[in-house]
Chain A
Amino acid sequence: MLMNDKVPLIREKALWMRRTAFTMVHRAQLGHPGGDFSAMDILATLYFGVLNFDAKRPDWPDRDRFVMSKGHATGALYSALCAAGYFPEDWLQTYMQPKSLLNGHPNRNYLPGVETNTGPLGHGFPVATGIAIAGQLTGATYRTFVLTGDGEQQEGSNWEAAMVAGHRKLSHLTLIIDRNRLQQGAGTEETSGLDPLDDKYRAFGFDVVEVDGHDHAALLAVLGAAPASKPRCVIANTTKGKGVSFMENVASWHHGVPNAAQYDQAMKELV
Chain B
Amino acid sequence: MATVTPTAAGLQDCRNAWVATLEQLAEADPRIVAVVNDSVGSSKLNSFQKKFADRLINVGIAEQVMVGVGAGLANGGRIPFVSAASCFITGRALEQVKADLAYANFNVKLVGQSSGVAYGELGATHHSIEDFAWLRPLTNLTVIVPADAWETAEAVKWAAQHDGPVYLRLSRMPVPDLDIPNRTFRPGKAEVVREGSDIAIIACGTTVHLAADAAEVLQAEGIHARVLNFSTINPLDEAALHRAAATGAIVTVEEASIRGGLGGAVAEFTSANQPVPVERVGFPGFLPTGSTDWLFQEYGLSPEGIAAAAHRALKRKA
> Measuring CB to CB, which residues of chain A are less than 8 angstroms from any residue of chain B?
28-30, 71, 96-100, 102-105, 107, 117-122, 151-152, 154-156, 183-186, 188, 191-192, 255, 257
Near A by CB (< 8 A), chain B positions 44-100 give: 58-62, 64-65, 87-88, 91-92
Across-interface contacts of A152 in B (CB, < 8 A)? 61
Tell me whether A154 and B62 are in contact (CB under 8 A).
yes
Nearest Cβ on chain B to A99's Cβ, whole angstroms: 5
Tell me whether A100 and B61 are in contact (CB under 8 A).
no
Nearest Cβ on chain A to B50's Cβ, whole angstroms: 13
Count, chain B residues at interface, CB 8 A: 31
A102 to B38, CA, bound (A): 26
A117 to B123, CA, bound (A): 11
A152 to B65, CA, bound (A): 14
Known A104-B122, A119-B125, A185-B41; contact A99-B61, beta-carbon cutoff 8 A: no
Tell me whether B2 and A257 are in contact (CB under 8 A).
yes
Q: Which of B39, B64, B92, B289 contacts A104 (CB 8 A)?
A: B289
Tell me whether B121 and A156 are in contact (CB under 8 A).
no
Is the C-beta of B40 less than 8 angstroms from some C-beta in chain A?
Answer: yes
Tell me whether B62 and A156 are in contact (CB under 8 A).
yes
> Measuring CB to CB, which residues of chain B are less than 8 angstroms from any residue of chain A?
1-2, 38-42, 58-62, 64-65, 87-88, 91-92, 119, 121-126, 288-291, 294, 298
Nearest Cβ on chain A to B61's Cβ, whole angstroms: 4
Closest 7 interchain pairs by CB? A192-B60, A119-B125, A154-B60, A104-B122, A98-B290, A96-B121, A103-B123
Tell me whether B2 and A98 are in contact (CB under 8 A).
no
Tell me whether A151 and B122 are in contact (CB under 8 A).
no
Nearest Cβ on chain B to A120's Cβ, whole angstroms: 5
16 contacts between A and B (CB under 8 A): A30-B121, A97-B289, A97-B290, A103-B121, A103-B123, A103-B289, A104-B121, A105-B125, A120-B125, A152-B61, A155-B61, A186-B58, A188-B60, A191-B60, A192-B62, A257-B2
